[in-house]
Chains A and B, each alone.
Chain A
Amino acid sequence: MFGATEPLDTRDATPIATAPITRHVRGNDRDKAKPVTTGTADENAPDWAAVLIRIRDDRDEAAFVALFQHFAPRVKAFLMRSGADAAQAEECVQDVMATVWQKAAQFDPTRASAATWIFTIARNRRIDALRRQKRPEPEDLPWGPEAEPHQEDRLGLQQETKHLGEALASLPAKQRDLIEKAYFGDLTHTEIAEATGLPLGTIKSRIRLALQRLRHAMDRK
């Protein structure tokens, strides 16, 4: 298995970029779609959306192992920062990653990156486990089988997500800390109201466009 070469502890996660599976996936993508010009250090960063699509479409266990090795340790850390103890977090990680496998068909790469989508699953699991509440979700807007998302939209969204990650990383420590705490569920409502935001306008517009296309596709049915 591709993933078998990966150490379980991905504390220094960058070596994952050399995993054969991710190179292979990126290579395929480049053949199909316009290359994304990044020119930054993580040019070789794995395209996790493509890995997730292989899980979605091919039920590819090797792809799942690669995704697990990158995200499961982060999901565990996220849950622990959110107030779970180690044993609880460990159990939730397994649930979260199994849900990723089970619900992969709901992943829409024009509206979310793999990290974003996995975050929403982990967050919902946290609400369920720590607060014993269910979380009402908006009505789903599904792609019909005849309306596969455009490569361009997918790459555009992934690109915006990458920029957002970079913007977050380059914030002053104090502000970044505030945003992280908000997502770890560690701020009071008053503090959240004071958390100044990142510029989310571009990614918002892109998602808005993807939603517009969805509506058109639904109307045509």
Chain B
Amino acid sequence: MTTIRHHLTDGLIIGYSAGTLPEAVNLIIATHVSLCDDCRAAVEAHDALGGAVLDGTEAAKLDEGCLDATLEMIRAMDTPAPRDIQMPQDPVAPGPLLDYIGGSLDAVKWRPVGMGVKQAILKTSPDATARLLYIPAGTAMPDHGHRGLELTLVLQGAFQDDEGYFARGDIEIANADLHHTPVADISQDCICLAVTDAPLRLKGLARLAQPFLNI
């Protein structure tokens, strides 16, 4: 694994673990976590907190026959699901992303958006938007206004902006107040997964981008 310098915030990790984020945000988090064991450990630690909440929940009364119905279900599924072994199938696109692009980067239907930059919008729930961006080496992205949260994960190549240098696995977390003009590194064309929220519908999501003081 390469060294990843730009990570998820605790707010995003809690939201992912609690299961309250839009699908597109979950997608970029799952993709980053596939590349970043630090954030994977942080997500699993927060899942442990979810487990503690579940375990401490006052038990509800089950309907009579709930156990029997479940036993019937498991007896009907006599062969256990084999261990999913998902070895990385694509050097650029991690597993969770592959599910959204038809199994291969070659299957992506790019659309030109100017300056040689191409994008492809991925199909997710409408509360946030996920897109793949293809930025030719050395190209500057136009200063794109985003009103809410914008998450950018580098999959290939690298880009530089006022916030720093972002290479494969790094995720940039930008709020509306950040005006940035990323420039793709000269060495290689840059491919990113970018997610923006729909600010009117998800007021407050951008707050998750702010680091906590306490964790």
Contact = CB atoms under 8 A, between A and B. Distances in A.
Interface of A: 8-11, 13, 59, 61, 64-65, 68-69, 71-78, 80-81, 89-90, 93-94, 97-98, 101-106, 111-113, 115-120, 122-124, 126-127, 131, 133-140, 142, 160-161, 164-165, 168-169, 179-180, 182-185, 187-190, 192-193, 195-200, 203-205, 207-208, 211-212, 215
Interface in B64-82: 64, 66-67, 69-71, 73-74, 77, 80-82
A192 B20 contact: yes
Interface in B45-104: 45-64, 66-67, 69-71, 73-74, 77, 80-86, 88, 94-96, 99-100
Contacts of A94: 66, 69-70, 73
Contacts of B56: 165, 168-169, 180
Contact of B31 (A124, A126, A136, A183): A136
Interface of B is mostly: helix
B174 interface: no
A215 B37 contact: yes
Given A138-B33, A204-B41, A98 B18 contact: no
Band of interface residues on B: 35 or more
B180 interface: no
A207 B19 contact: no
9 contacts: A9-B59, A11-B58, A78-B53, A105-B83, A135-B30, A164-B49, A193-B204, A200-B48, A212-B37
Nearest to B74: A101
B48 A164 contact: yes
A103 B44 CA distance: 18
A113 B48 contact: yes
B80 to A, nearest CB: 6
Contacts of A212: 37
B7 interface: no
Contacts of B66: 8, 72, 90, 93-94
B105 interface: no
Contact of B47 (A112, A180, A205): A112
A197 B67 contact: no
Given A74-B55, A76-B60, A215-B1, A123 B50 contact: yes
Contact of A122 (B27, B54, B73, B86): B54
Given A189-B20, A207-B41, A207-B44, A118 B204 contact: no
A72 B44 CA distance: 22
Given A185-B20, A193-B207, A136 B54 contact: no
A71 B100 CA distance: 33
Nearest to A168: B52
Interface stretch (B9-17, B139-147, B152-160): B9-17
